[in-house]
Chains A and B, each alone.
Chain A
């Protein structure tokens, strides 16, 4: 069965702290994604990765960085957490069929609710 796990369901941090959110998938998917979800805004893409050590900025990358050292693991890093980064963070993965093949849906983790005080 498809499985995407995130390191924490709830996290409380202080302003200025460095925060690591980890995501692991066991489906051998090439693509992995980090979103943040805020009421009325839906999901907004922070970063995505299409292969190990490869990353692309999404719509709102400012204040975040990512790391993908292994295919199954994609980490989101808040270098210096701020209160406006309080949000729900969702990780997702999807396979990559290559050009000319159907696009695939994403599989989501359970999410991490981050509160920055």
Chain B
């Protein structure tokens, strides 16, 4: 079965520190997609990034960067120079085929990030 593990339950940092959120996944598929979502206190999950299994290039978007390593089945997320507005729960996710032939999203347990001023 597919599985996404986010071992860090909560992380607390001081503003301007860098922070890395870990994600390890298990899948038998050779083609798969990984995602990161952010859930601020307002409640809605917001899509951050999608990565397919054939593209191991790291990606940077402003203060956010993602490191995908197929060899270790990891898709880690780093926030550089964290800000208070980064405080949220971050979910790593994997798409999984279901019994209808479509796909559904499997979420990790989430990492709650507190950024203190």
Q: Do A and B come from one complex?
A: no
A residues whose Cβ falls under 8 Å from a Cβ of B: none
B residues whose Cβ falls under 8 Å from a Cβ of A: none
